[in-house]
């Protein structure tokens, strides 16, 4: 990698860190100003940003971009601006009985200079969401955009440079080597969104600086249909979650567990749903392309390998020209539905359908695999729902729905184990990018001097009383 580029990265980082040290606790007014600048930057350039995102994919629906990228993006910026005043307030904590009338509190303090690594699948939302939380918390931020979405990266970098001072927010473009240099910088906090494999490398790089990390990864998020649940509704919501962005979503359903014997009914319903969603899949602009040729070929190999191992393959749309990089949704059934090539996160419009005999078996099936980023449960038996929730572990859950838990600002978003660590969104994002400073305030009436040496009779009597109570 060009040494000049590494030095330029360091210079940009040092500018952020110096500014953070010069102004370590921006006022609520200043934080709101930065969030307003961010919203204005986005709102004034929506058409150009949507065009760049679509060009990076080859084709992505403007309507879909508005619904699943622009709407939550603006919503999180506005929410942070509205709530940051209350988030900034010191939080009272109880003081131990023997230390009264002293008081204790937590004061949220900006960390300083934070790093954000955004993925390609939602290149704007996954940059702006963490940025809004970081700015609300009073930080300066540097963002590494994905090299797989170069047009979006270049446009966002230009817009940020036009609207923010370089020591407020800085956007970095470039490939793998730039990314490696980026995550090796001594940030005060680093948030990475991407694959589990790359997340391991990011954590290694951050460890050399003792940089705390939030890792938003992925994994195989299951959807489970309970016995007796209306199949039509479950399939519609599952296929919605799977088809948006052509399955290129970290919390897309990755496989479905259905009561044994209902696999064919699931297939028939999925065919009806896809025909209703995309009556002209080959010609519509509502269905996204796969991001690049490498990922397109990877998904084709997954299908071919599963078929070779004996899985039944059901295509839910037409075969489309390879140059379009459009891949119709595919269902995989049979014992090879989760073949060797499908043991990792699919990240595309391929959905294995697996039958289960009973609830015990379904829970065991989920728990035998790495803990997922999301779990989707379709069940109207409240007692059974509570059992599912107690006996499975996932980063987040939507009951009788898919995807929607990520849009709730009062719910944290994050994984567990191989699907990630740490969390953000709303108040939790503010806390992630803040240091919760513990403050103990002594009272004038303090009696701690009674415990000073020399340790005579008075001390012995007091310590005996303290130890007894």
Q: How far apart are CA 139 and CA 170, in angstroms?
A: 12
307-321 exposure pattern, b = at least 16 Cβ within 10 A, e = fewer: bebebebbebbeebe
Query: Mean pLDDT, the chain, as a whole number?
Result: 95
Assigned domain for 466 exists: no
Please name the residue that has the structure tokens 């014997």. 261
What pLDDT, on the 0 to 100 scale, is given for residue 451? Answer: 87
Give yes or no: residues 11 and 123 share one domain: yes
> Which neighbouring-strand residues pair with 396?
374
Give yes or no: residues 186 and 239 share one domain: no
Q: Which of 108-112, 271-275, 333-337, 409-413 is least confident?
A: 333-337
Give yes or no: residues 319 and 409 share one domain: yes
**Measuring CA to CA, how many Å separate 369 from each of 39, 216, 255, 400, 461?**
40, 18, 12, 22, 58
Give yes or no: residues 387 and 244 share one domain: yes
Please check the confidence at residue 290 and state whether its pLDDT lies above 60.
yes
What pLDDT, on the 0 to 100 scale, is given for residue 2? Answer: 63
Assigned domain for 158 exists: yes
Give yes or no: residues 277 and 407 share one domain: yes
220 token code pair? 């195989």
Q: How many domains does the chain have?
A: 2
Please check the confidence at residue 200 and state whether its pLDDT lies above 70.
yes
Residue at a domain's end among 365, 380, 414: 414
Please check the confidence at residue 107 and state whether its pLDDT lies above 60.
yes
Give yes or no: residues 202 and 271 share one domain: no
Please check the confidence at residue 359 and state whether its pLDDT lies above 90.
yes
What pLDDT, on the 0 to 100 scale, is given for residue 469? Answer: 66
User: Sign of the C-alpha dihedral, residues 303, 306, 310, 315?
Assistant: negative
Give yes or no: residues 335 and 300 share one domain: yes
Residue 335, SS3 per DSSP: coil
CA within 13 Å, CB half, 328? 24
Mean pLDDT of the 18-35 span: 97
Q: What is the 3-state secondary structure (H, E, C) of 142-196?
A: EEECCCCCHHHHHHHHHHHHHHCCCCCEEEECCCHHHHHHHHCCCCCEEEEECCH
What pLDDT, on the 0 to 100 scale, is given for residue 468? Answer: 84
Q: How far apart are CA 42 and CA 160, in angstroms?
A: 10
pTM of the model: 0.94
Please check the confidence at residue 3 and state whether its pLDDT lies above 80.
no
Please check the confidence at residue 339 and state whether its pLDDT lies above 80.
no
Q: Give me the catalytic one of 168, 216, 269, 345.
A: 216
Assigned domain for 407 exists: yes
Assigned domain for 250 exists: yes
Cα diameter, the chain: 91
Q: What angle do CA 241, 242, 244 make, to 5 degrees?
A: 70
Please check the confidence at residue 1 and state whether its pLDDT lies above 70.
no
**Measuring CA to CA, how many Å separate 221 from each of 241, 278, 387?**
11, 24, 18
Q: How far apart are CA 237 and CA 389, in angstroms?
A: 19
Question: 124 lies in which domain range?
Answer: 3-217+419-437
CATH code for the domain in which residue 371 is found: 3.40.309.10
Torsion of CA 242, 199, 108, 186, to 10 degrees: -150
What is the pLDDT confidence band of residue 336, given thresholds at 50, 70 and 90? confident
Give yes or no: residues 406 and 427 share one domain: no
Please check the confidence at residue 146 and state whether its pLDDT lies above 60.
yes
Residue at a domain's end among 383, 399, 414: 414
Give yes or no: residues 343 and 395 share one domain: yes
Give yes or no: residues 196 and 295 share one domain: no
Is 302 a catalytic site residue? no
Assigned domain for 453 exists: no
Give yes or no: residues 275 and 394 share one domain: yes
Mean pLDDT of the 36-44 span: 97
Q: What are phi and psi of 363, to 5 degrees?
A: -65, -40
Phi-psi region of 457 (alpha: psi -120 to 50; beta: other; left: phi over 0): alpha
Environment class of 49 (CB within 10 Å of its CB; exposed 0-12, middle 13-18, buried 19+)? buried
Share of the chain above pLDDT 70, in %: 99
Please check the confidence at residue 392 and state whether its pLDDT lies above 80.
yes
Please check the confidence at residue 258 and state whether its pLDDT lies above 90.
yes
Assigned domain for 448 exists: no
What pLDDT, on the 0 to 100 scale, is given for residue 381? Answer: 96
What pLDDT, on the 0 to 100 scale, is given for residue 278? Answer: 97
Residue 110, SS3 per DSSP: strand
What is the pLDDT confidence band of residue 343, given thresholds at 50, 70 and 90? confident
Q: Give me the catalytic one of 243, 250, 274, 302.
A: 250
Residue 27, SS3 per DSSP: coil
DSSP H helix total and E strand total for the chain: 16, 16
Please check the confidence at residue 210 and state whether its pLDDT lies above 70.
yes
Q: How far apart are CA 400 and CA 436, in angstroms?
A: 36
Give yes or no: residues 150 and 21 share one domain: yes
What pLDDT, on the 0 to 100 scale, is given for residue 281? Answer: 94
Mean pLDDT of the 343-360 span: 95
Assigned domain for 459 exists: no
Mean pLDDT of the 432-443 span: 96
Phi-psi region of 325 (alpha: psi -120 to 50; beta: other; left: phi over 0): left
Assigned domain for 461 exists: no
Please check the confidence at residue 4 and state whether its pLDDT lies above 80.
no
CATH code for the domain in which residue 120 is found: 3.40.605.10
What is the pLDDT confidence band of residue 446, given thresholds at 50, 70 and 90? confident
Please name the residue that has the structure tokens 């009696």. 447
Kindly report whether the peptide bond that precedes residue 101 is cis, defined as omega within 30 degrees of 0: yes
């Amino acid at each position: 990698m060009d040494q000049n580029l590494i030095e330029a990265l360091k210079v940009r980082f040092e500018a952020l860190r110096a500014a953070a040290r010069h102004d370590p606790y921006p006022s609520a007014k200043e934080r709101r100003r930065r969030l307003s600048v961010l919203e204005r930057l986005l709102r004034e350039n929506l058409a150009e940003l949507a065009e760049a995102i679509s060009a990076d994919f080859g084709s992505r629906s403007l309507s879909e971009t508005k619904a699943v990228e622009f709407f939550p993006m603006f919503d999180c910026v506005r929410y942070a601006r509205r709530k940051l005043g209350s988030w900034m307030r010191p939080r009272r904590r109880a003081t131990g009985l023997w230390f009264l009338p002293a008081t204790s509190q937590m004061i949220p303090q900006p960390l300083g200079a934070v790093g954000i690594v955004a993925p390609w699948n939602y290149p704007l939302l996954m940059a702006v969401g963490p940025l809004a939380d970081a700015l609300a918390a009073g930080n300066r931020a540097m963002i590494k955009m994905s090299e797989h979405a170069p047009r979006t990266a270049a446009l966002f970098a230009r817009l940020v440079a036009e609207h923010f001072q370089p020591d407020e927010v800085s956007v970095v473009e470039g490939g793998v080597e730039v990314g490696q240099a980026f995550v090796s910088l001594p940030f005060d906090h680093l948030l990475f969104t991407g694959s589990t494999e790359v997340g391991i490398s990011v954590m290694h790089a951050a460890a050399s600086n003792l940089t705390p990390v939030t890792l938003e990864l992925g994994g195989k998020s299951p959807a489970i249909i309970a016995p007796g649940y209306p199949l039509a509704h479950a399939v519609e919501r599952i296929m919605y979650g799977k088809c948006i962005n052509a399955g290129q979503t970290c919390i897309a359903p990755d496989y479905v567990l259905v009561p044994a014997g209902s696999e064919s009914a699931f297939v028939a319903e999925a065919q009806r749903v896809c025909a209703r969603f995309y009556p002209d899949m080959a010609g519509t602009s509502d269905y996204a392309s796969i991001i690049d040729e490498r990922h397109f070929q990877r998904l084709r190999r997954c299908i071919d390998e599963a078929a070779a191992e004996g899985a039944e393959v059901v295509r839910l749309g037409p075969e489309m020209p390879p140059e379009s990089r459009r891949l119709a949704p595919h269902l995989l059934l049979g014992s090879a539905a989760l073949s060797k090539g499908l043991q990792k996160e699919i990240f595309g419009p391929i959905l294995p359908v697996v039958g289960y005999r009973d609830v015990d078996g379904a829970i065991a099936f989920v728990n035998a695999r790495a803990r997922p980023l999301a779990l989707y449960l379709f069940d109207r038996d409240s007692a059974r729902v509570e059992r599912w929730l107690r006996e499975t572990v996932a980063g987040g859950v939507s009951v009788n729905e898919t995807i929607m838990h990520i849009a709730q600002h009062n719910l944290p978003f994050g994984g567990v184990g191989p699907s990630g660590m740490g969390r953000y969104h709303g108040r939790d994002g503010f806390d992630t990018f803040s240091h919760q400073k513990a403050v103990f305030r002594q009272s004038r009436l303090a009696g701690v001097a009674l415990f000073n040496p020399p340790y005579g009779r008075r001390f012995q009597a007091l310590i005996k009383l303290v130890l007894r109570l």
